[in-house]
């Protein structure tokens, strides 16, 4: 008997016994289909949108999971999605079955279509021209942004705060501004805050953020960019916001201030000292980029970079008890490529992989 005939015979015998064999996806229970769709909707939103356009039955099945992961680039996209998501949540609140409405559990948001180019060299004389050109390319006014310009992003964060599990923010604005008005992010497990070089919008009469703002956060990634405060002030503040952080990644650690503060902040301390991030188990350090090939580096910057690398090595040899230190390769990519790396790391976290918190070499080497 051929394989095809045998298969048909088995199906027929199963049918005679009264057992229904699913031959089409529409024959599967909707709960099972939704689980399949949930695993598919991990690309930032495109798959959820595509599934909703296949058919009415697909749209119904995909609706609760279509916003499982959302990637937004530019204030226009952020504003449009924020307005739409407000209506979705309002409809869910009025419904007798709120679980049938989609919730954002993984969010990537970049506040401009192309992030401002990072200033790699402090001795550049044309930084202001570069900043103006960057804003001109975005068709933005190169004056400090107003509160209304920034409003969609903090508004969106307030909406997703109860449900979001992974969050990646690439912006030129301070976290104090971004999280103003937000309640606790009780489900958040992974957070990346990439503070890019550019204009800053100081919070006007900013209220203190609730602490802990991220009570369950375990993996934190801070792309240093511009330091508004000292290392110690910055990490003490983040310790209050995310006291359970076990894996911390620091990207673009500045040469100038990094060496003097790294060992003092994360090295061995007396027993009676209250450390930052008391639950920390592994620290990933990625130094600020080296100059591009063919461009001379100022002697002062060369000395600062060597000093930082020596400090990281010393930290690896004398870390806080129970904490491992790993050094990541410097990322010399700027601008759009840097944003691609951020999105790739976030997507790995959405898929359940290590994402930003993996790799590197032992700092003692």
Contact (CB, 8 A) for 198 and 223: no
Q: Does residue 96 carry a pLDDT above 80? A: yes
Q: Band of the pLDDT at 151, cuts 50, 70, 90? A: confident
Question: pLDDT of 301-359, one tens digit each?
Answer: 777 778 888 888 888 888 888 999 999 987 665 544 566 788 999 999 999 888 899 98
Going by DSSP bridges, is the β-strand pair 106-110/166-171 parallel, antiparallel, or unpaired?
A: parallel
Q: Which two tokens stand for residue 345?
A: 């790391």
Q: Does residue 54 carry a pLDDT above 90? A: no
State pTM to two decimals: 0.78
Q: Does residue 85 carry a pLDDT above 70? A: yes
214 in the Ramachandran plot: left (φ > 0), alpha (ψ -120 to 50) or beta?
beta
pLDDT in the model for residue 204: 46
Q: Which two tokens stand for residue 30?
A: 């909707």
- In Å, how far are 86, 136, 208, 310, 326 from 287, measured between CA atoms? 40, 30, 30, 12, 11
Going by DSSP bridges, is the β-strand pair 106-110/69-73 parallel, antiparallel, or unpaired?
A: parallel
* 130 three-class SS: helix
Q: Which two tokens stand for residue 148?
A: 């209304």
Question: pLDDT of 265-280, one tens digit each?
Answer: 888 876 667 788 999 9
Q: Which two tokens stand for residue 214?
A: 């991220």
Output the DSSP codes for 182-203: ----TT--EEEEEE-SS-----
In angstroms, rounded to a whole number, what is the distance separating the alpha carbons of residues 228 and 292?
A: 26
Mean of the pLDDT values across residues 28-34? 76
Contact (CB, 8 A) for 259 and 308: yes
CA angle 263, 265, 266 (to 5 degrees): 70
């Amino acid at each position: 008997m051929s394989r095809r005939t045998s298969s048909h015979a088995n199906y027929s015998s199963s049918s005679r016994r009264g057992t229904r064999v699913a031959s089409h996806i529409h024959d599967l229970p909707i709960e099972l289909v939704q689980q399949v769709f949930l695993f598919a909707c991990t690309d930032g939103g495109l798959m959820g949108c595509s599934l909703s356009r296949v058919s009415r039955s697909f749209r119904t099945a995909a609706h609760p999971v279509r916003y499982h992961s959302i990637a937004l680039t530019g204030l226009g996209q952020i504003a449009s999605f924020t307005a739409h998501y407000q209506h979705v949540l309002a409809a869910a609140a009025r419904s007798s079955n709120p679980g049938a409405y989609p919730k954002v559990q993984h969010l990537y948001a970049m506040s401009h279509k192309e992030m401002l180019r990072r200033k790699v060299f402090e001795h550049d004389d044309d930084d202001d021209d570069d900043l103006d050109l960057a804003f001109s390319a975005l068709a933005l006014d190169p004056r400090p942004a107003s509160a209304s310009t920034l409003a969609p992003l903090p508004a969106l964060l307030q909406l997703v705060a109860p449900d979001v599990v992974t969050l990646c923010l690439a912006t030129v604005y301070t976290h104090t501004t971004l999280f103003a008005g937000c309640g606790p992010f009780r489900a958040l497990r992974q957070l990346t805050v990439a503070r890019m070089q550019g204009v800053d919008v100081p919070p006007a009469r900013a209220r203190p953020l609730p602490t802990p703002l991220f009570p369950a956060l375990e993996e934190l990634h801070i792309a240093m960019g511009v330091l508004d405060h000292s290392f110690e002030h910055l990490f003490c503040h983040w310790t209050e916001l995310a006291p359970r952080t076990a894996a911390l990644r620091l990207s673009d650690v500045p040469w100038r201030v990094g060496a003097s503060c790294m060992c003092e902040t994360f090295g061995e301390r007396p027993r009676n000292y209250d450390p930052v991030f008391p639950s920390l188990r592994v620290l990933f350090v990625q130094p600020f980029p080296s100059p591009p090939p063919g461009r001379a580096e100022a002697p002062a910057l060369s000395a600062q970079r060597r000093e930082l690398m020596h400090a990281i090595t010393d930290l690896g040899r004398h870390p806080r008890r129970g904490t491992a230190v790993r050094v990541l390769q410097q990322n010399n990519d700027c601008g759009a490529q840097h944003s691609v790396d951020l999105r790739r790391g976030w997507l790995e976290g959405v898929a359940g992989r290590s994402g930003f918190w993996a790799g590197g070499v032992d700092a003692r080497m």
